[in-house]
Structure 1
Amino acid sequence: MELSKPLPGYLVQRYHGWKATSYAENRSWYRKLATEGQRPRAMVISCCDSRVHVTSIFGADQGEFFIHRNIANLVPPFEPDGDHHGTSATVEYAVTALKVVHLIVLGHSQCGGVAGCIDMCQGKAPQMEAKESFVGRWMDILKPKYDLVADIADPAEQAGQLEKQAVITSLENLMTFPFVADAVAAGTLSMHGLWTDIGQGGLECYESKSGEFVQV
């Protein structure tokens, strides 16, 4: 069995198109990034969903955002001896090594991970309850928040509210990391919770004082 196969033709064509246009037009900028290293101002933790295009939403250039993506844009709590080290390691590097000044959690509408969490909480996804389900065990991070939306009758509204609770969960868990809490207390790091409506192009920001998401 082949471990790795040649790249599909359409991706090869797209690469050469990028190299001849975008790269060629910004060659000096790419070389500067390569020689001087990265200095991103912000870290964005977003969902893996292919419909969430972080750099396009904010019109960001290469080197501007340090981006981490996972299922449902979740951050686990600080657990030095736990098993969730991929996301935790990325947060640690962004805050302690890159010294980002903004830490953004970006949730979105129609999130498949959140939908799966709802199904799991309602007993409709036994496959996710299995110990060997990576997605199920990851969504255990959000599972406790289901009680906050359990009584919402409309499925779309329920999903939307739990998607926003996923953002809040990540913000809360980020503050359990000592180096994050210290940076926030020192005023060198600010936290931001966002939720975007894929179909409408809307963007809402979580305001901790009111406990609500408001349109940007």
Structure 2
Amino acid sequence: MLIGDVVGSRLAADRVELHRAVAAALKRIAAGAIDPPRFTVGDEFQGSYPTVGAAIDAAMSLRLLVAPNIDVRFGIGWGATTVLDAKAGIQDGPGWWAARDAIEQTAAAQRQPGFALTRTTFRTAEDSRDDVAAINAALLCRDHLLGSLDDRSLRILKGLMSNRTKKELAAAEGISPSAVSQRASRDGLDLIVVAGQYLRSVP
């Protein structure tokens, strides 16, 4: 189960455009979903995926699709869910509550010194998995790296995640391939890509 919302949405200059941009991004991460993600209340959205890795990958993809203009946070929950209202997309059950707890933990972490860049938390229903701590450790590190990128590095990362070559990205940015490689090394862009591949495979 994936629950997400827009950070600081009330401060947006154009909330209609914000909603439109996120809605378009949600459609692009619907492939492979059990329940495609969609808005539920306000700027909050939810959906479900067959694996934790698929939900993590969807969250990362959405972040990159709307960055840097829109910031989003997520809670990912593992456990059974029940659809209460299919038309409205309202769900319940241990997995939903785990995701709800996770996004609340994400919001709380953002207010702590040293954790301001946290955007994703994973929780399970009861003690149903033994990899929660390891997954959250990886998410914390990836979120910190991602949140530390400037706009150019974000664009390059988006390109790398789309399997574009560094030579192609250099041409698009008007810089040398060497400069792209140096930036990828300095900012951990290659590391983020590889971490994403590992996390995508989590069952």
TM bracket (short chain): under 0.3
Of Structure 1 and Structure 2, which has the larger fraction of its residues in helix? 2
Alignment TM-score, normalising by the size of structure 2: 0.28
* Structure of larger gyration radius: 1
